[in-house]
Amino acid sequence: MRILFLDGWQSVPGGVKPTYLAQHGHQVINPKLPDEDFGEAVRIAQVEFDRHRPQAVVGTSRGGALARNINSGDARLVLLCPAWKKHGSARTVKPGTVIQHSRAGEVVPFADSEELVRNSGLPGPALVEVGNDHRLADPEPLAAMLRACERPAAARRG
């Protein structure tokens, strides 16, 4: 499976999460995105999406906001502690989106993801509470991210 991985603010490509996905047999596109120009980061993410046509888009923190602000077609969205209130203009996500968030996260409040689920009319199970911090880089959240990416299409719809 091709996965477009959009990093958070001040992250560098090739980190723990995209490496984990690649180690599990996926082709991961992990572009370098500018930290200070959200519009340019959206443009780059859209170009990479259009070029590679991934089946899934994973966005972590600021990357979650980026994922919501590109045209991702039929690709599944997996958002990790999405910083949607801080970046971009999109206030909802498409059906089938999975949001993973730690209640103990210190950067983006868990309540922001609860609000995003409500705004989007997603079912409660679309929000998965996982992990012990904002990074979601421990074994449990890494495995949950992988499962969300690999879920069959019918399971994503509801």
In the chain, what's the furthest Cα-to-Cα distance?
Answer: 38
Per-residue pLDDT of the chain (158 residues; tens, 9 = 90+): 999 999 988 777 789 999 999 999 999 999 999 999 999 999 999 999 999 999 999 999 999 999 999 999 999 999 999 999 999 888 999 999 999 999 998 899 999 999 999 999 999 999 999 999 999 999 999 999 999 999 875 444 44
**What is residue 117's predicted lDDT score, i.e. its pLDDT?**
97
Within 10 Å of residue 66's Cβ, how many Cβ atoms?
30
| Sheet containing strand 27-29, strands side by side | 27-29, 2-6, 56-60, 76-80, 98-101, 127-129
Entry pTM? 0.93
Please tell me the predicted confidence (pLDDT) of residue 156: 43
Pairing mode of beta strands 2-6, 56-60 = parallel
